[in-house]
Amino acid sequence: MAKTTFSTLFFVLLLFTFSSCGQNRTNNQPATQTTETVQQRVFRPVLIPDHLTETADRAAFLAVRFWDTFDFSDTGFLDFPHIIEQAFAEYLSVLPHTTLEIANASIRAMLTRALTEDETGKMYLHFLGLYNRYLHDPNSPFRNEEFYITVVEHIIENDIDDFATITRAKFDLEMMLKNRVGTIATDFTYITIGGVRGSLHRLSRPFTILYFHNPGCPACEEASRMMRESPFLNHLLETGRLDVLAIFTDDDLDWWRQNQGHISPLWINAHDSPRVIRSQTLYDLRAIPSLYLLDRNKRVLLKDADVMTIHHYLYNLGEGRELF
């Protein structure tokens, strides 16, 4: 059998320093008393059987068995959070290589063990914090709402004795279920920079990039630049196969009108009218920019994706050839 781990995606592990804690013996202490130390824990990955040679099979095995060697009842691991975090990051790097069903079953099983094996509840809450930071933070390279939905459902279903955690989980679940991949995106009306009124669902091209942005936002300007300078996306726009609906959702329309430099003339440049996207939380806009890829029927293909992910998705539909 061979020991195998998957490389962590986009993750830089911060090195922590730590030392042993002890008590010095005194002349009054018995000679038989030994110095007490905090022993560092070690995470030992499971071994993948040699007969599993396909990537999908190995990933499935690791997803199911990754935490087999971890003692969730040993709260001493919490004194060495970097060890837990490194293992956790490697675990998350495995999950995208298997099916959603296997990944979510793995997450549920892992959380159930953390909840039931540690009577203090500290290990469960520690892992909940990691899941939130890695899967739900808008800036995390591991962000994955489909995985995090499983986490908050586990919190709600088990009704843990932590009101703040339960309340937050219910809110997060409500927001993540809005405009979920595979559902029809919520319709709204808009007014273009030229005063033309329209609505999302009346757009008829095969694909729509729904682009929520703000002028002056550096990340928005970079996303706009990448889309403006993409020959592939511009070709789809010019041949009528793609719309980019750029929506300004804040209140200062004068600021919006005065800052149009990052908007392509090929896009539909508009503001939210009558300002309901934020006031009624039609979309989860925790971070700007926020981009969705929709099909002709406004079904969500990609949610809160980056420009390169959208580009690759559309390109791969035609395997580098014409889309239709």
Residue 108 lies in a domain: yes
Instruction: Cis check for the bond before 138: say yes or no (omega within 30 of 0).
Output: no
Residue 286's pLDDT is 86
- Within this chain, do residues 97 and 72 fall inside the same structural domain, yes or no? yes
- Within this chain, do residues 137 and 215 fall inside the same structural domain, yes or no? no
- Within this chain, do residues 198 and 312 fall inside the same structural domain, yes or no? yes
Range of the domain at 91: 2-16+39-176
- Within this chain, do residues 214 and 144 fall inside the same structural domain, yes or no? no
Residue 90 lies in a domain: yes
> Is residue 320 very low, low, confident or very high in pLDDT (cuts 50, 70, 90)?
low
Residue 216 lies in a domain: yes
- Within this chain, do residues 194 and 160 fall inside the same structural domain, yes or no? no
- Within this chain, do residues 297 and 211 fall inside the same structural domain, yes or no? yes
Candidate from 73-87, 159-173, 231-245, 299-313 with smallest mean pLDDT: 159-173
Q: Which of 176, 199, 215 is the last residue of a domain?
A: 176
The domain tally of the chain equals 2
Q: Residues of the chain with pLDDT > 70: what percent?
A: 86
Q: Which of 106, 128, 101 lies closest to 62, judged by CA?
A: 106
Q: Tell me, what CATH number does 303's domain have?
A: 3.40.30.10
In the numeric block, the tokens 């008393």 are attached to: 33
Q: Is the pLDDT assigned to residue 268 strictly greater than 80? A: yes
- Within this chain, do residues 87 and 195 fall inside the same structural domain, yes or no? no
Residue 28 lies in a domain: no
- Within this chain, do residues 145 and 219 fall inside the same structural domain, yes or no? no
Give the H or E element holding residue 124.
helix 122-131
Residue 38's pLDDT is 57
Residue 184 lies in a domain: no
pLDDT digits (tens, 9 = 90+) for 117-133: 999 999 999 999 999 99
Q: Is the pLDDT assigned to residue 192 strictly greater than 90? A: yes
Q: Is the pLDDT assigned to residue 109 strictly greater than 90? A: yes
Candidate from 21-25, 79-83, 208-212, 219-223 with smallest mean pLDDT: 21-25
Residue 287's pLDDT is 87
Residue 161's pLDDT is 76
Q: Is the pLDDT assigned to residue 2 strictly greater than 60? A: no
Q: Residues of the chain with pLDDT > 90: what percent?
A: 77
Residue 40's pLDDT is 82
Q: Which of 172, 211, 167, 205 lies closest to 305, judged by CA?
A: 211
Residue 324 lies in a domain: no
Residue 193's pLDDT is 94
- Within this chain, do residues 165 and 220 fall inside the same structural domain, yes or no? no
| 268: CB partners within 8 A, 6+ apart | 190, 192, 198, 203, 243, 244, 245, 246
- Mean pLDDT, rounded, of the chain: 87
Residue 322's pLDDT is 58
Residue 5's pLDDT is 37
- Please give the average per-residue pLDDT across 141-150, as a whole number: 95
Q: Is the pLDDT assigned to residue 111 strictly greater than 70? A: yes
Q: Which of 116, 151, 176 is the last residue of a domain?
A: 176
CB atoms within 10 A of CB 224: 23
Q: Which of 138, 154, 176 is the last residue of a domain?
A: 176
Residue 323's pLDDT is 53
Q: How many helices (H) and strands (E) does the chain have?
A: 11, 9
